[in-house]
Amino acid sequence: MNFLLDEVARATQRLAEAGVPSPRADAEELAAFVHGVRRGELHNVADADFDALYWECVARRAAREPLQHITGHAYFRYLELRVGPGVFVPRPETEIMVGWAIDTLRAMDVADPLVVDLGTGSGAIAISIAQEVPRSRVYAVESDPEALAWAKLNLDASGHGDRVTAHLADMRTALPELAGRVDLLISNPPYVPTDDAALIPPEVRNHDPAPALWSGRDGLGMIRELEQVGRRLVRPGGAMAVEHGDGQGIDIPHLFPEELGWCDVRNRKDLAHRDRFVVMRRADDWSGKLGEG
C-alpha cells in the first residue's frame, strides 16, 4: 500500500475515535493540504514525500479544531474563501439559500439589483451573489470588526470589490439611506438557542464567534428583529431570505405576517430535506409606513 494512504487510514481511525463527524474526508483533506495537492491526487504523493506535519494537523483536528481553521480555507459554491479564528465558517446548507437568492434576482425585472447581506461574516454570501449576478450591487454588513477583516480579505481576493461594499455596523440599524430601495435582503443570522449549548459540536461551540451563534433561549431573537429590518429596507415587491436552525421552521413564518406587508412566506429545505431558510416578499401594494414598528 502507498505509505501516505496507509497514514490516511490510521488518521481516519484516530479522528473517528475522537468523534469527528467525517473522519475519512477530513483525514484526506488534511493530507492534501499538507502535500499541496487535491484529495483525488493523494495517490500521486511519493512515500519519500510524506510530511510529518500531517500528524500535527491530525492532532489538532482530533482536538476538534475546525478543519477549515487548520487548512485556512473553506469552499462555498464557486469560491475558495480564507477563514480562521474570529469568523464564522460558511456551511454547505447556506449555499442552497444563496442559490435561491441568485435565481430570484435573475428573475427580477431589475437591471442593477440592490442586495443587502446582513451578518456577512467571511463574505461568502455577498461575494457569491456579486459573482453570479454580475450587475448586482451588494452591501455586506458585519458588526464584528474581526469578522469584517476576513470579509474584506476575501473581497479583495475575489475581484468583485467594485460591486460589494463592506460596512461595519449593527445589522438592526444599518444602511438607513437604503430604506425602501432594496431588491433583496438576505441573512444567515445567529439562531442557536442558548439552551442548546451543550448539544452544539465543539468545532462550533468553541471556535465560531459567539455573536454569530447565540440568539436568546429560543434562538429567534435576531430573526424577530430582522422582520423589522426587512420592513424598513425592502421595497414593495422585493424579496427576503433568512436562514434558521433545525426545528425552527414551524415558528418563523409566523414572524412575517400578512398584516405587516409580507406575502408568499415559505420555508425552504436544505440538502438533508430539513426546513433551513424562510423566504418572503413585500406586498406590491403595501401602503403601510416603511419601518413602522
The Cα–Cα gap between 187 and 189 comes to 6
The amino acid occupying position 193 is: P
Please check if 122 is assigned to a binding site.
yes
What are 241's strand-pairing partners? Answer: 186, 279
Q: What span, in angstroms and rounded, lies between the C-alpha atoms of 107 and 101?
A: 10
> If DSSP codes are grouped into helix, strand and coil, which group holds residue 89?
coil
Q: Is 189 known to sit in a ligand binding site? A: yes
State yes or no: 72 annotated in a binding site: no
Q: Which residues contact 189 (CB under 8 A, 6 or more apart)?
A: 118, 119, 171, 215, 222, 223, 226, 242, 243
3-state SS, residue 183: strand
Is residue 54 within 8 Å of residue 15, measured between CB atoms? no
| Residue 188 labelled as part of a binding site | yes
Do residues 175 and 169 lie in contact, with contact meaning Cβ atoms separated by under 8 Å? yes
**191 among annotated binding-site residues:** yes
Give the separation between CA 196 and CA 213, rounded to whole angstroms: 11
Whole-number Å distance between alpha carbons of 22 and 16: 8
**Is-contact 118 97, C-beta < 8 A?**
no
Query: CA gyration radius for the chain?
Result: 21
Taking alpha carbons only, the member of 66, 136, 67, 72 closest to residue 98 is: 136
Query: Has 84 been labeled as part of a binding site?
Result: no
185 with 234: CB under 8 angstroms? Answer: yes
Which residues define the annotated binding site for substrate?
188-191
Which residues define the annotated binding site for S-adenosyl-L-methionine?
119-123, 142, 188
Which residues define the annotated binding site?
119-123, 142, 188-191
